[in-house]
Amino acid sequence: MKRNLLFLLITLSLFISCTGCGSGVSHPADSSNATPQNGDALFEICKLNGTVTEFSDRGCVLTPVISDDSVACQAAPDHEDQQDQVTVSYNDGCSFQIAHANLQTGEITYEDASVADIKKQTELLISGEYDTNDTLLADRVFIYRAEG
């Protein structure tokens, strides 16, 4: 019983601390639509990264990656909590690209993609703005693939 309570408290505190993430952090405006050349720059322009649990032609639902400076974690497939998931809606003109990340050099190469490339369990990085309903309105969607 104590273990369950401790786990619940740790999970709750992690969730509460992460819900404020981004509210005090200013991300640079991506008005130039420049394509980031390394992983750090790509993650900096994106508001959300996570794994797709549901998808359609108009948007998707993600289980977000929760991270701090040293650790990142995510719910295991089919063990996601509905309240932690984030709804994403693709704006008109939303661009889709596959981002191939070389883990040894940190460099990113890109290829064009489409909404049809997004399936369940696809890892995404998404740039856009949240609306008043906490839906992320995506301008750019990157399908993230780690290589090397």
Indicate whether 67 pLDDT > 60. yes
Helix, strand, coil abundance in the chain, percent, nearest 5 = 20, 40, 35
More confident residue, 55 or 39: 55
Give residue 148's pLDDT: 79
Q: What separation in angstroms does the CA of 73 have from each of 43, 52, 85, 91, 111? A: 16, 15, 14, 28, 27
Computed over every residue of the chain, the mean pLDDT equals 80
Residue extents of the structural domains in the chain: 35-147
pTM to 2 decimals? 0.74
Whole-number pLDDT of residue 120: 94
The per-residue DSSP string of 43-101 comes to HHH-SEEEEEEEE-SSEEEEEEPEE-SS-EE-PPTT---GGG-EEEEEEEEEEEEEEEE
- State the DSSP H helix or E strand holding residue 42, giving kind and residue range, or none if neither: helix 39-45
User: Higher-confidence residue: 16 or 43?
Assistant: 43
Q: Which tokens sit at 15?
A: 């969730």
> Looking at the predicted structure, is the pLDDT value of residue 25 above 60?
no
In this predicted model, which residue has the larger pLDDT, 99 or 32? Answer: 99
pLDDT band at 79 (very low <50, low <70, confident <90, very high): low
Q: At residue 72, what is the residue type?
A: A
More confident: 103 or 148: 103
pLDDT above 70: residue 68:
yes
Tell me the average pLDDT across 123-130. 96
